[in-house]
């Protein structure tokens, strides 16, 4: 294959009726959040993950914030949060005034290590937030057991796992409340957007209440507000895109999984690359094709591999930077050396390769050839 133009790490794959639905939103003059694609998306996505209620929001981040608000988290409360996650998980807790308390990952799946949770629980702990990382569900049975024992709520940050299942049950229906992102690089997208799913009618109502400036859910619009709320309403034009994406979610997930299998197969002879695994009782929807680079075996560091691939027109990204090292979170006093060895290792060795749903086998083969050439150069 001749050298293709620059290959991004991820781009949307708009392969269905996205344009038709956006056009309909515009021609019918329904572009605000009151349009019918918004309720359609809420109902259809909730039903897709086997939850009773769905709430759209403007982003995964605002979905997480609403979930924390709905659980009445606030100053003085502590929330268990994975140390290896996207920053929005921790920020959502901070927005409420509660304190995130970080827990290291398990080495195999990179998800929060359930064995390390209980030692971080105090009388102030109110909830456990889990992030199903890079497409693989967390060890939910153990986590739910701990939550039950200590009377804690469970929030799933499911931004990276649309359609993944744990022991046959979909992520988004496993805890008390779950949050998804519809950002452009997620498995289904509306460009920007978010979704909450829950089986709890009270949480459902609170999410809708806080999302809409605490206007009363029923009753007259007399502009009297009992609480401080937010405007996190998703417009109909964007919901239209996500409804079209949801119609193709099966194909979009299959393509992500096929990407991962392709890379794993084509690179299986290359030493020093350890891909995120899939455990027997779970599906991995491989939001991103991510792996760790063992410098000694591979021949060069993760960082050098990224530089070399970039010069060959291939974009990659580092895996997340640990929460306990985030300057923004320094006041939570968790920069303890050696307390998070798994996360520290992931942040030094981990990266993901181009992972768009629209990638072809030929293109992945080209990328893998380039990775092999880099390995041969340094080995």
| From 166, 183, 275, 366, residue interacting with ligand PLP (rule: CB under 6 A) | 183
54 part of the interface to ligand PLP, by CB under 6 A: no
23 is catalytic: no
Least CB distance from residue 157 to ligand PLP, whole Å? 5
86 part of the interface to ligand PLP, by CB under 6 A: yes
85 part of the interface to ligand PLP, by CB under 6 A: yes
Number of amino acids touching ligand PLP (CB under 6 A) = 14
243 by DSSP, 3-state: which?
helix
Least CB distance from residue 74 to ligand PLP, whole Å? 21
Q: Which is nearer to ligand PLP, 138 or 291 (CB)?
A: 138
Neighbours of 193 (CB within 10 A): 27
Is residue 180 within 8 Å of residue 156, measured between CB atoms? Answer: no
| From 56, 59, 290, 347, residue interacting with ligand PLP (rule: CB under 6 A) | 59
Least CB distance from residue 160 to ligand PLP, whole Å? 5
| From 33, 61, 173, 276, residue interacting with ligand PLP (rule: CB under 6 A) | 61
Q: Which of residues 123-142 bind ligand PLP (CB under 6 A)?
A: 131
Binding mask 9-48 for ligand PLP (x = CB under 6 A): ----------------------------------------
| Phi-psi domain of 195 (left: phi exceeds 0; alpha: psi -120 through 50; beta: other) | beta
Least CB distance from residue 312 to ligand PLP, whole Å? 27
- Residue 204 to residue 12: CA distance in whole angstroms: 29
Q: For ligand PLP, which stretch binds (CB under 6 A), given 5-13, 44-52, 56-64, 143-151? A: 56-64
Residue 53: name the closest of 183, 191, 212, 202 by CA.
Answer: 202
Integer Rg of the chain from CA: 21
194 part of the interface to ligand PLP, by CB under 6 A: yes
Catalytic residue among 69, 186, 206, 278: 186
Binding mask 139-178 for ligand PLP (x = CB under 6 A): ------------------x-xx------------------
DSSP E strands: which ranges in the chain?
Answer: 53-57, 78-82, 99-103, 125-131, 153-157, 165-166, 169-170, 177-181, 194-198, 273-275, 289-293, 317-318, 350-353
Which residues are paired to 244 by β-bridges?
none
Q: Which is nearer to ligand PLP, 267 or 346 (CB)?
A: 346
**Strands of the 194-198 sheet, one edge to the other:** 53-57, 194-198, 177-181, 153-157, 125-131, 78-82, 99-103
88 part of the interface to ligand PLP, by CB under 6 A: yes
Least CB distance from residue 87 to ligand PLP, whole Å? 8
- From residue 14, alpha-carbon distances to 27, 48, 125, 249, 335 in Å are 20, 19, 42, 11, 42
Q: Which is nearer to ligand PLP, 66 or 86 (CB)?
A: 86
Neighbours of 209 (CB within 10 A): 19
- Residue 47 to residue 56: CA distance in whole angstroms: 14
Least CB distance from residue 134 to ligand PLP, whole Å? 8
111 part of the interface to ligand PLP, by CB under 6 A: no
- Residue 134 to residue 122: CA distance in whole angstroms: 29
Residue nearest to ligand PLP (CB): 60
Least CB distance from residue 211 to ligand PLP, whole Å? 14
Is residue 284 within 8 Å of residue 278, measured between CB atoms? Answer: yes
Residues at the interface with ligand PLP (CB under 6 A): 59-61, 85-86, 88-89, 131, 157, 159-160, 181, 183, 194
Active site residues: 186
């Amino acid at each position: 294959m001749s050298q293709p133009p620059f290959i991004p790490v991820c781009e949307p794959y708009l392969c269905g009726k996205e344009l038709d639905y956006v056009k309909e939103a515009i021609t019918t003059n329904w572009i605000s959040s009151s349009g019918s694609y918004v309720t359609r998306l809420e109902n259809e996505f909730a039903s897709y993950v086997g939850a009773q209620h769905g709430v759209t929001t403007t982003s995964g981040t605002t979905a997480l914030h609403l979930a924390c608000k709905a659980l009445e988290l606030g100053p003085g409360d502590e929330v268990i949060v994975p140390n290896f996650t996207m920053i929005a998980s921790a920020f959502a807790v901070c927005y409420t005034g509660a304190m995130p308390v970080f827990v290291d990952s398990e080495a195999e799946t990179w998800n929060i290590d359930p064995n390390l949770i209980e030692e971080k629980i105090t009388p102030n702990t109110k909830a456990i937030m889990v992030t199903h990382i890079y497409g693989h569900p967390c060890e939910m049975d153990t986590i739910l057991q701990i939550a039950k024992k200590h009377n804690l709520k469970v929030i799933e940050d499911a931004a990276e796992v649309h359609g993944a299942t744990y022991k046959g049950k979909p992520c988004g229906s496993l805890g008390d409340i779950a949050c998804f992102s519809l950002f452009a690089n997620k498995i289904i997208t509306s460009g920007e957007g978010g979704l909450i799913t829950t089986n709890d009618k009270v949480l459902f109502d609170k999410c809708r209440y806080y999302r809409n400036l605490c206007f009363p859910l029923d009753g007259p619009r007399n502009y009297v507000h009992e609480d401080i709320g937010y405007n996190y309403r998703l417009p109909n034009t964007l919901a239209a895109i996500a409804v079209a994406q949801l119609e193709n979610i099966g194909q979009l997930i299959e393509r992500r999984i096929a990407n991962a299998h392709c890379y794993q197969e084509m690179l299986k002879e290359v030493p020093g690359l350890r891909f995120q695994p899939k455990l027997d009782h779970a599906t991995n929807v491989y939001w991103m094709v991510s792996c760790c680079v063992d410098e000694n075996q591979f021949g060069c560091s993760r960082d050098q591999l990224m530089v070399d691939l970039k010069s060959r027109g291939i974009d990659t990204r580092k895996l997340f930077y640990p929460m306990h090292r985030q300057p923004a979170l320094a006041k939570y006093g968790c920069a303890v050396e050696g307390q998070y060895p798994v996360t520290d290792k992931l942040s030094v060795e981990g990266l993901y390769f181009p992972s768009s749903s629209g990638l072809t086998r030929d293109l992945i083969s080209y990328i893998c050839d380039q990775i092999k050439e880099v390995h041969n150069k340094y080995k």
